[in-house]
Amino acid sequence: MIHDKKRLDDLKSYKILDTSPEEQLDQITELASLICDTPISLITLLDDKRQWFKSNKGLSKPQTNVTHSFCQYALGNPQEVLVVNDSWQDSRFKNSELVVNDPKIRFYAGAPLATSNGNVLGTLCIIDTKPREITENQKKALEILAKKAMGHIELRKIFLDQNKTIAMGVHRLNKLTQNIPGGIFQLRVKPDNSFKFEFLSEGIKDLHPDINIDEWLKNPSLGFSLIHPDDLKNLRETLADSVKNNTNLYYEYRVNYGDEIHWHSVKAHPEYTKNGDTILYGVFNDISNHYEYQSAMEQISFDISHKLRKPVTNLLGLTHLAENNLNATKKELKEYIGYIQMASDELDKFTKQLNETYEWKKQKIANSSWEKSN
């Protein structure tokens, strides 16, 4: 049973070997020793090479070789307490190193630590240096305590598995937030309007490359220092209104980058907590491209309305003139055609310039978006 692969895999899954002592298990060994009146009480775990003591009362060694262990004989029966009243009278143990040498075991009783799969990981055992008997009540108490110990070990495994699941979830969330454009945040606002950021994603570095995230978490006012003075007051008021009225927050504002001005937006959803705080979950975004695009469209509209006016007006005038001069001579018609051609050439030239300007602005905005996303 010592080398049974399923049992060893089960033991390994608990990740308990070579871990620190735990008070709950130490209390169980202490109680077992008191109930059974023995100087030694152990919670043992057996792999294929050693018997390791998770809890140890009265023994100086942290582990022993598994081939000399008494507990190995309990592995095959998860329902029964193994009792050795006198090791000198038992052929399995009388020549054992643990009997001949310290701790010179004479009496042993071990209740198996059985998993839900029926595998025995070790025992809760009591040991004495003199032969003796164990009462039925003591044996029953040992079984109960062994189940308590195994229950704690099972809960410990569940806790570790849940922590692993949480850690994996946090890792995936961090990966996700690192690749989302903009900066995700969680902001706690106290009833006195003091506030602190409880989370800032890595995307903040793209928006504010000169601010260290850890410093910003410690000093949440750092972000306000970059906001354009004309927008700062309104942003504070908008934030206060969102918290006061429990309404979604959205605001667009300017940020100073040396000689440049960038447009940012903040969008957040508030939630009240039982202690009166408000938690805002939101995102910061650089929306400068939107304003650049809007400015480009306004410029194109201006160009269309102003620069096209001359050739279009000329064409309309020539058309009107031709309609009212039906008896025009060939010379006059030739002049009309020349003027129309000039106006058409001017219109065509401007249209090409307009297209080139539009494509250039569009490509510039697209390149800027790609650079920020990477």
Query: What CATH superfamily classification does 183-286 receive?
Result: PAS domain (3.30.450.20)
Predicted pLDDT at 343:
66
The model's pTM is: 0.58
Coil, helix or strand at residue 113: strand
Query: Cα(31)–Cα(317) distance, rounded to whole angstroms?
Result: 110
Predicted pLDDT at 293:
64
CATH topology match: 5-167 vs 183-286? yes
Query: Cα(175)–Cα(241) distance, rounded to whole angstroms?
Result: 33
CATH 3.30.460.80 fits 5-167, yes or no: no
Query: Cα(158)–Cα(152) distance, rounded to whole angstroms?
Result: 10
Predicted pLDDT at 96:
93
pLDDT in tens, the chain (374 residues): 789 999 999 999 999 999 999 999 999 999 999 999 999 999 999 999 999 999 999 999 999 999 989 999 999 999 999 999 999 999 999 999 999 999 999 999 999 999 999 999 999 999 999 999 999 999 999 999 999 999 999 999 999 998 888 888 777 777 766 667 788 889 999 999 899 999 888 888 888 887 888 888 888 888 788 889 899 999 999 999 999 999 999 999 999 877 788 899 999 999 999 999 999 999 998 888 776 666 666 666 666 656 666 666 666 666 666 656 656 666 766 676 666 667 666 766 766 776 676 666 666 655 654 454 44
Longest Cα separation, the chain: 142
Least Cα distance to 108 among 89, 123, 127 occurs for: 127
Query: Cα(17)–Cα(55) distance, rounded to whole angstroms?
Result: 11
**Domain extent listing, the chain:** 5-167, 183-286, 291-373
Predicted pLDDT at 296:
64
Predicted pLDDT at 258:
75
Query: Cα(364)–Cα(304) distance, rounded to whole angstroms?
Result: 21
